[in-house]
């Protein structure tokens, strides 16, 4: 089983960007933890990050032939991108929406997700630990729907 972890805008700045909201773990720290957990779970993971909406759409399209499922932290695009929503729908892939912070405890414009209705689930508010939760959840989901 192969999982793509796809990160959107500004997540390349983790560790220094608003650490009181997003924590002090860098994206490299999160990737290392995910690789370790993936090994424990017997799956492989790949990581991509882009600040550009079209690149995220392209990554979702490419995942159709290279991944079994996707963990997507779309950042601010969560609340604005019909293009990402359509890409998730078009691929038919299992996608988990992920956020480091609890978006419902923040500004009201962050309370609406354009992508949640086409994802299999949403994990948010657990900081960097959310990536491990999402990885375990997608592996369990895909395993339950295999065959």
**Which residues are designated catalytic?**
22, 99
Residue found by looking up tokens 């720290």 in the block: 29
Mapped onto helix, strand or coil, the DSSP state of residue 23 is coil
Write out the two tokens for 128.
């960097």
**Structural contact between residues 131 and 30, judged by C-beta atoms closer than 8 angstroms:** yes
Smallest Cα–Cα separation from 87: which of 100, 77, 99, 75? Answer: 77
**Going edge to edge, which strands form the sheet with 2-7?**
44-49, 2-7, 69-73, 94-99, 121-124
Distance CA 10, CA 124 (A): 17
Cα Rg, the chain, nearest whole Å: 14
């Amino acid at each position: 089983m192969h999982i793509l972890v796809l990160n959107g805008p500004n997540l390349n700045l983790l560790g220094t960007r608003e650490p009181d909201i997003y924590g002090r773990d860098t994206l490299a720290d999160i990737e290392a933890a995910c690789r370790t957990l993936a090994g424990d779970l017997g799956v492989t993971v790949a990581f991509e990050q882009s600040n550009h909406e079209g690149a995220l759409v392209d990554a979702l399209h490419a995942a159709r032939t290279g991944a079994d499922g996707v963990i997507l932290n779309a950042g601010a695009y969560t609340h604005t991108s019909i293009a990402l929503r359509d890409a998730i729908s078009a691929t038919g892939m299992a996608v988990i929406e992920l956020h480091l912070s609890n978006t419902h405890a923040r500004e009201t414009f962050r309370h609406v997700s354009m992508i949640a209705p086409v994802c299999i689930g949403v994990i948010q508010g657990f900081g960097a630990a959310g990536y491990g939760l999402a990885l375990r959840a997608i592996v369990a989901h895909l395993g339950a729907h295999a065959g």
